[in-house]
Amino acid sequence: MDTPVPIDSRLPDVGTTIFTVMSRLAQQCGAINLSQGFPDFQPDPALAAAVGEAIAAGANQYPPMAGVPALREAIATKLQLEYGAAYDAESEITVTAGATQALFTAIAALVSPGDEVIVFEPAYDSYGPAVRLQGGVVRPVALLAPEWRPDWAAFRAALTPRTRLVIVNTPHNPTGSAWPREDMETLAALLDGSRVCVLADEVYEHMVFDGRRHESVARHPALAQRAIGVSSFGKTYHVTGWKVGYVFAPAALMAEFRKVHQFNVFTVNSPAQAAFASVAGRAETWRELAAFYQAKRDRLRSGLAASRLRLLPCAATYFQLVDYRAISDLPDVAFAEWLTREAGVAAIPISVFSHDRADRGIVRLCFAKQDATLDAAVARLVCL
């Protein structure tokens, strides 16, 4: 239906996210979907059963705005166990409707018109639009390949009196990198004495490989005092469609976060919160994830060693970057479409994660899949 009402778009240059585009194309073509970052296997049956039990027990009405107390207590316990960080469950932890909502809410709470926000690129594609919707200005700073660590000289140049927020994503989507301790310490030193806050996207916190340690902002007091951290139950428990995450922050920052949270989502569904409360305190669950996904990473990399794809380093997350330039000179978006249609494997082009759409001849593959799915994808890719 056409509308006679003229619309002044607030995001005139933004279309449908690449994840939706490629998953739709994969479905249309019957391709193996290694594009969008979700598992194709089931979660722990006990977790699914806990949702039904919560519904039967009457957890069907609004929970507290900040989240079910038992779940917030479990999150506080986890933060203490993992990072030695003490967060008050009542005033410093909030349950959210997934990580993307948490990120948007944090940006809305902290960014005013004209404020500048430093974003390290390649960057998850929700950051920039969220900043722009608040009237903020994105200041991109490059991550340097092949380890995808920050260009600190460029970061220093990007810092101005207008800088209000720095968005940090480690472990990093889409590159699969993980910042070492030195980078967190450098960031803390450069922000010392400033009014700049940090928004830390840590949704892949438990998927760090080869003996590395996730450097959460919670581990670093100089950053923790100015940071809102974001994590995701969907990523940790293989239930991305449940859309439940959480944030942790000092009480003053959390108070500002909740002012926005109460009006853009208010609260999160009760049965899922009750289910997560029953498992979130079990350290063995999240501590097994690194080995689980490292095995999948190694399976994919071993299979692709016989292909013409060049494997880039993968230190974390469940994403593997591959350089395809020995196969094709197509731009990465066109190559990803060709790969889906002709080879039957869907991937994500990396250029969409940078403001200048720089084409590096690289696509991203997701290995959060059953072994059979990975093997079938490898069989198609080695033939290219």
Q: Is the predicted pLDDT of residue 282 greater than 70, yes or no?
A: yes
Q: Is the predicted pLDDT of residue 242 greater than 90, yes or no?
A: yes
pLDDT (0 to 100) of residue 216: 98
Count, residues in the chain: 384
Q: Is the predicted pLDDT of residue 23 greater than 90, yes or no?
A: no
> What gap in Å lies between CA 122 and CA 175, rounded to an integer?
8
Question: What is residue 50's three-state secondary structure?
Answer: helix
Highest mean pLDDT pick, 4-13, 32-41, 260-269: 260-269
The secondary structure of 135-148 as a DSSP string is: T-EEEEEEEETTTT
Q: Which of 117, 297, 144, 294 is nearest to 201 (CA)?
A: 117
Pick from 16-30, 35-49, 104-118: least confident = 16-30
Cα 41–chain centre separation: 19
Q: Residue ranges per domain, the chain?
A: 18-43+287-381, 46-282
Pick from 37-46, 132-141, 219-228: least confident = 37-46
CATH of domain 18-43+287-381: 3.90.1150.10
Strand partners, 117: 138, 165
Q: Is the predicted pLDDT of residue 2 greater than 70, yes or no?
A: yes
The secondary structure of 293-351 as a DSSP string is: HHHHHHHHHHHHTTSSPEEPP--BTTEEEEE-TTT--S-HHHHHHHIIIIISEE-EEGG
Q: How confident is the model at residue 137 (pLDDT cuts 50, 70, 90)?
A: very high
Question: Averaged over 221-240, what is the pLDDT?
Answer: 97
Report long-range pairs for 183-187 (Cβ below 8 Å, ≥24 apart): 183/149, 183/150, 183/215, 184/215, 184/217, 184/219, 184/220, 184/223, 185/220, 186/150, 186/152, 187/150, 187/223
Q: Is the predicted pLDDT of residue 15 greater than 90, yes or no?
A: no
Question: Averaged over 30-52, what is the pLDDT?
Answer: 92
b (16+ CB within 10 A) / e for 359-380: bbbbbbbbbbbeeebbeebbeb
What is the C-alpha end-to-end distance of the chain, expressed in Å? Answer: 44
Q: Is the predicted pLDDT of residue 291 greater than 80, yes or no?
A: yes
Question: What is residue 260's three-state secondary structure?
Answer: helix
Question: What is residue 182's three-state secondary structure?
Answer: helix
Question: Averaged over 313-323, what is the pLDDT?
Answer: 98
Mean pLDDT of the chain: 95
Question: Averaged over 15-24, what is the pLDDT?
Answer: 81
pLDDT in tens, 327-370: 999 999 999 999 999 999 999 999 999 999 989 999 999 999 99
Q: Which amino acid is present at 327?
A: I
pLDDT (0 to 100) of residue 283: 84
> What gap in Å lies between CA 324 and CA 339, rounded to an integer?
10
Q: Is the predicted pLDDT of residue 25 greater than 90, yes or no?
A: no
Pick from 15-29, 168-182, 256-270, 335-349: least confident = 15-29
The stretches of 111-231 forming alpha helices (DSSP H) are 127-133, 152-158, 181-191, 221-224
Q: In this structure, what token pair is assigned to residue 377? A: 């994808």
Q: Is the predicted pLDDT of residue 134 greater than 90, yes or no?
A: yes
Contact predicate 190/155, CB 8 Å: yes
> What gap in Å lies between CA 117 and CA 158, rounded to an integer?
9
pLDDT (0 to 100) of residue 3: 67
Q: Is the predicted pLDDT of residue 4 greater than 80, yes or no?
A: no
Cα 90–chain centre separation: 25
pLDDT (0 to 100) of residue 27: 84
> What gap in Å lies between CA 24 and CA 31, rounded to an integer?
10
Q: How confident is the model at residue 38 (pLDDT cuts 50, 70, 90)?
A: confident
Question: Averaged over 186-207, what is the pLDDT?
Answer: 98
Q: Is the predicted pLDDT of residue 98 greater than 80, yes or no?
A: yes
pLDDT (0 to 100) of residue 307: 97
Question: Averaged over 119-146, what is the pLDDT?
Answer: 96
Q: Is the predicted pLDDT of residue 148 greater than 90, yes or no?
A: yes
> What fold, for 46-282?
Aspartate Aminotransferase; domain 2 (3.40.640)
> What gap in Å lies between CA 358 and CA 371, rounded to an integer?
33
Contact predicate 247/94, CB 8 Å: yes
